Chains A and B, each alone.
Chain A
Amino acid sequence: MDNAGYTSLTRLSGLMREMSVVANNIANISTTGFRSEGLIFAEHIAVTGPRDPSLSMGTAIAHSISAQQGALEQTGSEFDLAIEGEGFFLIDTPDGEALSRAGAFIRNDAGELVTPDGNYLLDAGGAPVFVPPQASAVAVAPDGTISADGQPLTVVGLYMPNDPLELTRRAGTTFTVESGVRPAENARVLQGFLEQSNVDPMMQVARMIEVQRAYELGQSFMDAEDNRIRDFLRTAGQRS
């Protein structure tokens, strides 16, 4: 295939990826604490030869994670926590510590707060948050302090990644970050609320239609290119 074909192929495969990203955003429209993502396309220059002009292609080179605050839904459950502002809960998973905005916690049989997957929520000191099973009237203050019957028990940790660009997505609405975490300063905890997915359905549908049309455009371009080569071969054949 000639260069024009390769260029439109990179575009088409990039659009295919983008379609997957849009589909994943829409599939997670009801996922607590989900942050919508986007793809960033960049020009990729390939050197074709010493005298030939270089070839420019579009590749999906990076993804972006929307940091927009999701809507807060009131649930009334005592261990449903939502974060207002920038910050994450720190979750202890079998694969190491991870950040998460999904605050639907459950008190397990031992009294520790865990995610629906059974991973521990960590406190400001990095230890699992423990609420005694007998404790009643559990209240969580905006700074994360958990108290039962007026007695403070522990403080839910709120953290920020040292480098926000490094957030790597993992299953279970969690992120890992290699450069470590630091305490978040501008975040508040709300008890009895859950942060909903921050996916904007309008934007996603618009993006989806755009991808679909751009793909069809790419396809018709390849058709036109096919016709051009066909015409050339036919004409060249007639002359010989």
Chain B
Amino acid sequence: MRALDIAATGMSAQQLRVDVISNNIANMSTTGYSPRRADFADLHYQQLVRAGAINASDGTVVPAGVQVGLGVRPAAVTVTWEQGSLGATGGQLDVAIEGRGYLEVTLPSGESAYTRDGALQRTGDGLIVTNDGFEVNPGITIPDDARDITINANGEIYASFLDHVQPQLLGQLNMVRFSNDNGLEAIGSNLFLETGASGTPLAGAPGQDGLGTFRQGYVEQSSVDAVREISDLIEAQRGYELNAKVLTAADQILGATTQVR
């Protein structure tokens, strides 16, 4: 019986939605996290009576036919990109990105990964790394005797030294963006990898070509909207219950069928 299978597709779709929502809620406090949304599309249609077929009894043309849909399937889980609010930390190496764009980091494998998490640290050697210790591109080293670090909107890092009047330029943080943010592959730890669907990283000057700017002393907070997630959760839960109800009703019809004699 079709209705049983259809209700099952509906239940698993709502289940996936709950999974996506729970991951969003779990990442409510994750730096630079953008919420995901599950999108659905209807499954296949069975054409029982084709539209335009000739009605056998009187020769008229059937205008609409009979089509029975076979349920629902997940179409995509998309990232709803929204600027998170900026939380002031006062940290000298904390940079938030205002607007679109990613910082580029090098993984231990040598691959490039991209992140919006700008809570940066420095290693014992003075190298600028992420919280997880991945080197930020291009590799910038802060000398031991640097006193004050300033990062401007363009990502240029300046340090002042006792023996210099003017602050010295140490380097500039890379900022890249992608044609399709949704095509990026999330690998956890706030990192993304380039894929065939995301397009190649488009480098540019911050503040131009659709790129955002850096802001020192802030980190971008998660842009998860708790109220929205909870209302979505309720919707998903009720959707699940409705599909479960269909399952029960279909089962009862099937039960009635077995009693026909």
Contact = CB atoms under 8 A, between A and B. Distances in A.
Contacts of B62: 61-62
B202 A168 contact: no
B76 A109 contact: no
Across the A-B interface, the 10 shortest Cβ-Cβ residue pairs = A136-B210, A27-B10, A109-B199, A116-B76, A133-B179, A24-B69, A23-B3, A23-B6, A116-B75, A20-B2
Contacts of A106: 76, 78, 180, 182-183
A182 interface: no
A172 B245 contact: no
Interface string A173-201: 10000100000000000000000000001
B243 A133 contact: no
Interface string A149-184: 000000000000000011111111100001000000
A135 interface: yes
Interface stretch (A81-89, A120-128, A215-223, A231-239): A215-223
Given A61-B66, A117-B41, 14 more contacts: A16-B1, A27-B246, A30-B14, A30-B235, A32-B40, A62-B66, A76-B82, A107-B179, A109-B179, A109-B196, A111-B179, A116-B41, A136-B211, A169-B42
Contacts of A27: 6-7, 9-10, 13, 69, 71-72, 243, 246
B85 to A, nearest CB: 14
Nearest to B74: A116
Contacts of A108: 179-180, 183, 197, 199
B43 A77 contact: no
Contact of B209 (A76, A136, A216): A136
A16 B68 CA distance: 11
B41 A31 contact: yes
* Interface of A, helix, strand, loop or mixed by DSSP: mixed
20 contacts: A12-B260, A16-B253, A23-B2, A23-B246, A23-B250, A24-B42, A26-B7, A27-B72, A27-B243, A28-B40, A28-B42, A28-B69, A28-B71, A30-B17, A32-B39, A60-B48, A63-B66, A106-B183, A107-B180, A133-B199
Contacts of B67: 37, 63, 168-169
A50 to B, nearest CB: 17
